Amino acid sequence: MEEYLIGDSANTLLRNFCIMNIKRIFGAILTILGIVGLIYGAILFVNHTSGARDVRALIIYGLLGLVFLFSGISLVRTTKDEA
């Protein structure tokens, strides 16, 4: 992108638009990772055997899935559209 061909206000608007899209994309990726973590935790829960290692993995994937899911959703919701 050649910045000298674009005016200052248009260049700032374009830069802000790119940042907002990156935030939304990152939020969508976090949301998808959270859903995958929760699904994997549910699979571990269904196939549960009585081992401490399985319970620890279930807790870790469940908590990470929840954190990723809620942080991704909040990032997408709080990012404003600039048009």
Contact 78, 30 (CB under 8 A): no
31-77 per-position pLDDT tens digit? 999 999 999 999 888 887 767 777 888 889 999 999 999 999 999 89
Average pLDDT over residues 21-29: 89
Whether residue 6 is predicted with pLDDT greater than 60 in this model: the reply is no
Tokens of 81: 């559209």
Q: Which of 40, 71, 80 is nearest to 58 (CA)?
A: 40
Check: pTM over 0.75? Answer yes or no. no
